[in-house]
Amino acid sequence: MHSPDQPKHYCGVFGIYGHPNAAELAYYGLYALQHRGQESAGIVTCDGQQFHEHKGMGLVPQIFDGAVLPKLIGNMAVGHTRYSTTGSSHIRNAQPLTVDCARGQIAVAHNGNLTNAAQLREELEAKGSIFQTSVDSEIILHLLAQPRDPRGESALVNTVRRIEGAFSLVIMTEHELIGVRDPHGFRPLSIGKVGDAWVLSSETCALDLIHAKFVRDVEPGEIVIINEDGLKSLQAFPAHERRAFCIFEYVYFARPDSTIADRNVYKVRVEMGRQLALENRIEADLVIPVPDSGNSAALGYSLESGIPYEMAFVRNHYVGRSFLQPSQLIRDFAVRVKLNLIGEIVKGKRVIIVDDSIVRGTTCKTRVNSLKEAGATEVHVLVSCPPHMNPCVYGIDFPDRSKLMAANHTTDEIRAYLNADSLHYLSQEGMVKATGLPRAGFCMACYDGNYPVAYDSRLEKNIMERRRARVESLGESIAKEARQPRLL
- pLDDT value at residue 411: 96
Burial of 410 per CB tally in 10 Å (0-12, 13-18, 19+): exposed
Average pLDDT (338-360) is 93
Active site residues: 11
Tell me how far apart the terminal alpha carbons of the chain are, to the nearest angstrom. Answer: 58
More confident residue, 465 or 316: 316
Task: Please say whether the beta carbons of 292 and 352 come within 8 A.
Answer: no
Q: Give CA–CA dist 379/366, Å, rounded.
A: 12
- pLDDT value at residue 334: 59
Domain boundaries, the chain: 11-243, 267-438
Q: Which tens digit of pLDDT belongs to each residue from 83-99?
A: 754 445 678 889 999 99
In 132-168, which positions are buried (b, 16+ CB within 10 angstroms) versus exposed (e)? ebebbbbbbbbbbbbeeeeeeeebbbbbbebbbbbbb
Average pLDDT (45-55) is 96
Q: Give CA–CA dist 200/178, Å, rounded.
A: 9
Q: Give CA–CA dist 3/363, Å, rounded.
A: 7
- pLDDT value at residue 485: 46
More confident residue, 115 or 335: 115
- pLDDT value at residue 128: 87
Q: Give CA–CA dist 134/87, Å, rounded.
A: 5
Superfamily of structural domain 11-243? Aminohydrolase, N-terminal nucleophile (Ntn) domain (3.60.20.10)
Q: Give CA–CA dist 407/427, Å, rounded.
A: 16
Using CA atoms, how far residue 130 sits from 33, 124, 178, 326, in Å, is 31, 8, 25, 41
Q: What is this structure's pTM?
A: 0.88
Would you state the torsion angle of the CA atoms of residues 214, 216, 220, 225, taken in this order, to the nearest 10 degrees? -80
pLDDT band at 478 (very low <50, low <70, confident <90, very high): very low
365: closest CA among 423, 312, 314?
Answer: 423
- pLDDT value at residue 102: 81
The amino acid sitting at 273 is G
Helical (H) or strand (E) element with 411: helix 411-418
Range in 45-59, 223-237, 389-403, 435-449 the model is least confident about: 389-403
Under the phi-then-psi rule, with left for phi > 0, alpha for psi from -120 to 50, and beta for the rest, what region is 174?
alpha
Q: Give CA–CA dist 200/193, Å, rounded.
A: 9
Q: Domain 267-438: give its CATH code.
A: 3.40.50.2020
pLDDT score of 488 more than 90: no
pLDDT band at 7 (very low <50, low <70, confident <90, very high): low
pLDDT score of 459 more than 80: no
